[in-house]
Structure 1
Amino acid sequence: MDLSIKSQANIEFMIEAIKTKLKMASGAAMSATAFNVEQYDDIRDVYDIVMSKDRLSISEVEALAQELGRLRSKA
Protein backbone atom coordinates (compact mmCIF):
# COMPACT_ATOMS: atom_id res chain seq x y z
CA MET A 1 0.00 0.00 0.00
CA ASP A 2 1.37 3.40 -0.99
CA LEU A 3 0.77 5.60 2.04
CA SER A 4 2.18 8.65 0.28
CA ILE A 5 -1.21 8.94 -1.46
CA LYS A 6 -3.75 10.82 0.64
CA SER A 7 -6.89 8.75 0.29
CA GLN A 8 -9.77 7.51 2.41
CA ALA A 9 -8.67 3.94 1.65
CA ASN A 10 -5.24 4.63 3.12
CA ILE A 11 -6.83 6.23 6.18
CA GLU A 12 -8.92 3.10 6.66
CA PHE A 13 -5.81 0.94 6.33
CA MET A 14 -3.86 2.99 8.88
CA ILE A 15 -6.71 3.21 11.42
CA GLU A 16 -7.28 -0.55 11.24
CA ALA A 17 -3.55 -1.20 11.69
CA ILE A 18 -3.41 1.20 14.66
CA LYS A 19 -6.44 -0.42 16.29
CA THR A 20 -4.92 -3.87 15.83
CA LYS A 21 -1.51 -2.86 17.18
CA LEU A 22 -2.97 -1.01 20.16
CA LYS A 23 -5.48 -3.82 20.78
CA MET A 24 -8.10 -1.17 21.25
CA ALA A 25 -11.14 -2.51 23.05
CA SER A 26 -13.14 0.44 21.78
CA GLY A 27 -12.16 -0.29 18.19
CA ALA A 28 -15.75 -0.06 17.02
CA ALA A 29 -15.88 3.53 18.27
CA MET A 30 -12.76 4.33 16.24
CA SER A 31 -14.27 3.87 12.81
CA ALA A 32 -12.06 4.88 9.90
CA THR A 33 -15.02 6.68 8.36
CA ALA A 34 -14.90 9.13 11.29
CA PHE A 35 -11.70 10.58 9.81
CA ASN A 36 -11.28 12.54 6.63
CA VAL A 37 -8.45 13.14 4.19
CA GLU A 38 -7.81 16.63 5.61
CA GLN A 39 -6.37 14.91 8.71
CA TYR A 40 -4.24 12.52 6.68
CA ASP A 41 -0.85 13.85 7.77
CA ASP A 42 -1.77 13.72 11.46
CA ILE A 43 -3.14 10.19 11.12
CA ARG A 44 0.01 9.18 9.26
CA ASP A 45 2.13 10.57 12.11
CA VAL A 46 0.20 8.46 14.64
CA TYR A 47 0.46 5.42 12.36
CA ASP A 48 4.24 5.86 11.97
CA ILE A 49 4.73 6.14 15.74
CA VAL A 50 2.61 3.06 16.46
CA MET A 51 4.24 0.93 13.79
CA SER A 52 7.78 1.94 14.74
CA LYS A 53 7.53 0.49 18.24
CA ASP A 54 7.52 -3.15 19.27
CA ARG A 55 5.77 -2.34 22.52
CA LEU A 56 3.88 0.65 23.78
CA SER A 57 3.42 1.61 27.42
CA ILE A 58 -0.05 2.12 28.82
CA SER A 59 0.53 5.87 28.92
CA GLU A 60 1.63 5.85 25.27
CA VAL A 61 -1.48 3.89 24.24
CA GLU A 62 -3.66 6.33 26.17
CA ALA A 63 -1.95 9.34 24.60
CA LEU A 64 -2.28 7.90 21.09
CA ALA A 65 -5.92 6.99 21.63
CA GLN A 66 -6.55 10.51 22.93
CA GLU A 67 -4.89 11.99 19.84
CA LEU A 68 -7.02 9.83 17.56
CA GLY A 69 -10.09 10.95 19.47
CA ARG A 70 -9.07 14.57 18.98
CA LEU A 71 -8.60 14.02 15.27
CA ARG A 72 -11.93 12.25 15.03
CA SER A 73 -13.75 15.12 16.71
CA LYS A 74 -12.42 17.48 14.02
CA ALA A 75 -13.83 15.34 11.21
Structure 2
Amino acid sequence: MNLNEATEDNLHYIIEDLASELQVLNAALLKPGDYDLDHYHDIKDIYDMVKAQGQVSVAEINAIITELSKYRK
Protein backbone atom coordinates (compact mmCIF):
# COMPACT_ATOMS: atom_id res chain seq x y z
CA MET A 1 0.00 0.00 0.00
CA ASN A 2 1.45 3.33 -1.08
CA LEU A 3 0.07 5.93 1.32
CA ASN A 4 1.52 8.74 -0.79
CA GLU A 5 -1.37 8.26 -3.23
CA ALA A 6 -4.56 10.13 -2.34
CA THR A 7 -7.17 7.38 -2.65
CA GLU A 8 -10.32 6.63 -0.69
CA ASP A 9 -8.83 3.32 0.48
CA ASN A 10 -5.69 5.04 1.76
CA LEU A 11 -7.72 7.74 3.51
CA HIS A 12 -9.87 5.05 5.12
CA TYR A 13 -6.76 3.19 6.31
CA ILE A 14 -5.11 6.35 7.70
CA ILE A 15 -8.21 7.47 9.63
CA GLU A 16 -8.78 4.01 11.11
CA ASP A 17 -5.12 3.66 12.07
CA LEU A 18 -5.16 7.11 13.68
CA ALA A 19 -8.25 6.15 15.70
CA SER A 20 -6.44 3.05 16.90
CA GLU A 21 -3.13 4.81 17.56
CA LEU A 22 -4.82 7.63 19.48
CA GLN A 23 -7.05 5.15 21.32
CA VAL A 24 -10.15 7.17 20.49
CA LEU A 25 -13.04 5.88 22.56
CA ASN A 26 -15.75 7.68 20.61
CA ALA A 27 -15.46 6.08 17.17
CA ALA A 28 -17.83 8.68 15.72
CA LEU A 29 -15.05 11.25 15.98
CA LEU A 30 -12.93 9.45 13.41
CA LYS A 31 -15.24 7.84 10.87
CA PRO A 32 -13.38 7.54 7.54
CA GLY A 33 -16.47 8.45 5.51
CA ASP A 34 -16.64 11.85 7.21
CA TYR A 35 -13.37 13.06 5.71
CA ASP A 36 -12.86 14.67 2.35
CA LEU A 37 -10.24 13.27 -0.02
CA ASP A 38 -9.34 16.88 -0.95
CA HIS A 39 -7.58 17.13 2.44
CA TYR A 40 -5.74 13.82 2.10
CA HIS A 41 -2.25 15.28 2.27
CA ASP A 42 -3.05 17.37 5.36
CA ILE A 43 -4.44 14.30 7.10
CA LYS A 44 -1.46 12.25 5.95
CA ASP A 45 0.90 14.83 7.49
CA ILE A 46 -0.87 14.40 10.83
CA TYR A 47 -0.69 10.63 10.44
CA ASP A 48 3.04 10.75 9.70
CA MET A 49 3.64 12.96 12.74
CA VAL A 50 1.73 10.61 15.06
CA LYS A 51 3.54 7.56 13.70
CA ALA A 52 6.95 9.22 14.07
CA GLN A 53 6.24 10.46 17.59
CA GLY A 54 5.17 7.13 19.09
CA GLN A 55 3.88 8.30 22.50
CA VAL A 56 1.15 10.94 22.33
CA SER A 57 -0.05 12.81 25.42
CA VAL A 58 -3.72 13.42 26.20
CA ALA A 59 -3.31 17.11 25.36
CA GLU A 60 -1.74 16.20 22.02
CA ILE A 61 -4.56 13.75 21.26
CA ASN A 62 -7.11 16.50 21.88
CA ALA A 63 -5.16 18.89 19.63
CA ILE A 64 -4.90 16.26 16.88
CA ILE A 65 -8.61 15.49 17.01
CA THR A 66 -9.40 19.21 16.91
CA GLU A 67 -7.12 19.62 13.89
CA LEU A 68 -8.67 16.61 12.13
CA SER A 69 -12.14 18.04 12.70
CA LYS A 70 -11.21 20.89 10.35
CA TYR A 71 -11.01 18.37 7.51
CA ARG A 72 -14.43 16.78 8.00
CA LYS A 73 -17.04 17.12 5.27
**TM-score with structure 1 length normalisation?**
0.90
Structure 1's unaligned 5+ residue stretches are: none
State the partner residue of 2:14.
14
Q: Aligned letter for 1:8? A: E
Deviation at 1:3, TM superposition (A): 0.7
Deviation at 1:30, TM superposition (A): 1.7
State the partner residue of 1:54.
54
**Runs ≥4 residues deviating over 2 A:** none
Deviation at 1:55, TM superposition (A): 0.5
Q: 2:56 & 2:29 partners in 1: Cα distance?
A: 21
Cα gap change, 1:58 to 1:29, in 2 (>3 Å): closer
Structure 2's unaligned 5+ residue stretches are: none
Equivalent position SS for 1:71: coil
What is the root-mean-square deviation of aligned Cα atoms in Å? 1.0
Deviation at 1:41, TM superposition (A): 0.8
Does the CA contact (< 8 Å) of 2:12 and 2:33 recur in 1? yes
Equivalent position SS for 1:45: helix
How many residues matched? 73
Q: Aligned letter for 2:55? A: R
**TM-score with structure 2 length normalisation?**
0.92
State the partner residue of 1:33.
33
Equivalent position SS for 1:61: helix
Identity among equivalent positions (%) equals 27
